[in-house]
Chains A and B, each alone.
Chain A
Amino acid sequence: MSPSLRQLAAIKAVCFIACLGPLAQLAWLGFADGLGANPIEYITRHLGTWTLNFLLVTLAVTPLRHISGWHWLIRLRRMLGLYAFFYATLHFLTYIWLDQFFDWASIVKDIAKRPFITAGFTAFLLLIPLAATSNTAMVKRLGGRRWTQLHRSVYAIAIIGVIHYWWLVKKDITLPLLYAVLLGALLGFRALRLARERQRQMNAYL
Chain B
Amino acid sequence: MLIKRRNDIAPSEITPRTLFEGRREFIKAASATVLAGAALYAGLPRRAWADSKFADLQKSPYSILETPNSLREITTYNNFVEFGFGGKSQPAERAGAMKTRPWTVRIEGLVQKPRTLAIEDILRIAPLEERIYRLRCVEGWSMVIPWVGFPLAALIKQVEPLGSAKFVEFITQMEPAAMPGLSLPYLDWPYTEGLRLDEALHPLTLMAVGLYGDVLPNQNGAPLRLVVPWKYGFKSGKSIVRIRFTDQQPQTSWHIAQPDEYGFYANVNPDVSHPRWSQEKERRIGEFFKRRTLPFNGYAEQVASLYAGMDLRKYY
- Which chain A residues have a beta carbon within 8 Å of chain B's beta carbons? 36-38, 40-41, 98, 100-101, 103, 106, 109-110, 113-116, 167, 169-172, 174-175
Contacts and interface: CB of A to CB of B under 8 A. Distances in A.
A171 to B, nearest CB: 4
14 contacts: A36-B88, A37-B73, A37-B285, A37-B286, A38-B88, A38-B283, A40-B288, A101-B289, A106-B278, A106-B281, A114-B277, A171-B187, A174-B86, A175-B86
Contacts of A172: 84-86, 184, 186
Interface string B258-285: 0000000000000001001110110101
B67 interface: no
Contacts of B187: 171
B147 to A, nearest CB: 18
Nearest to A109: B278
B284 to A, nearest CB: 10
Contacts of B84: 172
Contacts of B281: 106
Contacts of B86: 172, 174-175
B276 A114 contact: yes
B58 to A, nearest CB: 29
Given A41-B141, A167-B276, A172-B186, 11 more contacts: A36-B76, A36-B89, A37-B76, A37-B88, A101-B290, A109-B278, A110-B278, A170-B85, A171-B184, A171-B187, A172-B86
- Which 5 pairs show the lowest CB-CB distances between chains A and B? A37-B77, A172-B85, A171-B186, A37-B73, A171-B85
Interface of B: 69, 72-73, 76-77, 81, 84-86, 88-89, 139, 141, 184, 186-187, 257, 273, 276-278, 280-281, 283, 285-286, 288-290
Contacts of B72: 37
Nearest to A101: B289
A24 to B, nearest CB: 22
A110 B257 CA distance: 24
Nearest to A40: B283
Contacts of B139: 170
B285 A38 contact: yes
A115 B278 contact: no
A110 B260 CA distance: 19
A38 B290 contact: no
A179 to B, nearest CB: 14
A63 B77 CA distance: 41
A93 to B, nearest CB: 15
Contacts of A106: 278, 280-281
Contacts of B283: 38, 40
Nearest to B81: A171
Contacts of A100: 290
A36 B81 CA distance: 18
B232 to A, nearest CB: 13
Contacts of B141: 38, 41
B70 to A, nearest CB: 9
Given A38-B77, A101-B289, A113 B278 contact: yes
Contacts of B278: 106, 109-110, 113
